[in-house]
Amino acid sequence: MSRRSALRSFAGLGALALGAAACGPGDEVTSSASSSSGSGAKTSGRRFGAEWDSHTRTFMSWPALESVWFEDLPAVRADIARVARAVAEYEAVVLMARPEQVDAAQRACGSQVEVIPLEVDDLWARDIVPVFVEESDGRLLGVDFNFNGWGDKQEHRNDAQVGRLLLEKYDIARSKAPLVAEGGSFETDG
């Protein structure tokens, strides 16, 4: 199966960053806002929302590298723009794009999609964006799983920074997980 075929297959199944993951007491939490790092209690008091729970927005990434998609890059970008426009009919969509690609991404996606300048390497936002849990007091916490390009199989210098940078932009507390994983590998029933 080609990468583009995989993209088309997974796009309809939620290959977007819809957020999901849990973390425990004592996690390293950093933010410009005040936050706590856990009480040391047996349970964290955090809720990892169910896959079907509503959420505030969907994060997506603009395919950036010709070295990843080769001659398919224009078609892959058209597919991503089509998915972004479709999702934007129902909820807010934030599309991350390299600064020099923001204008082209905005033209392709239309005015209903918010395109923000953020250096990305590829389109797999479901794996690079932090996953979100709700603290017992209702605050949102982003869990950054230290993305490493699927074990250094693909360029990820920029994608590895997306979690931290996105959380800083939205002023959401960050919990840096003590392991390497992709956010898209987690499923939850709440």
Instruction: Tell me the residue range of the domain where 84 lies.
Output: 3-185
Q: Is residue 134 part of a domain?
A: yes
Q: Is residue 46 part of a domain?
A: yes
Whether residue 88 is predicted with pLDDT greater than 70 in this model: the reply is yes
Tens of pLDDT, residue by residue over 148-161, are 767 777 777 877 78
* DSSP-derived secondary structure for 101-145: GHHHHHHHH-TTEEEEE---SSS-HHHHSPEEEE-TTS-EEEEE-
Q: Which residue has the higher pLDDT, 158 or 36?
A: 158
| Tokens found for residue 33 | 């806002």
Q: Is residue 52 part of a domain?
A: yes
Tell me the C-alpha distance between 12 and 10, whole Å: 5
- pTM beyond cutoff 0.85: no
β-sheet bridge partners, residue 30: 174
Q: Is residue 59 part of a domain?
A: yes
Q: Is residue 135 part of a domain?
A: yes
Mean pLDDT of 11-35: 36
Please count the structural domains in the chain.
1
Q: Is residue 190 part of a domain?
A: no
**Of the candidates 68, 59, 64, the residue with the CA atom closest to the CA atom of residue 77:** 64
The domain that contains 99 carries what CATH number? 3.75.10.10
Mean pLDDT of 130-148: 87
Tell me the Ramachandran region of residue 187: left when phi exceeds 0, alpha when psi lies from -120 to 50, beta otherwise: beta
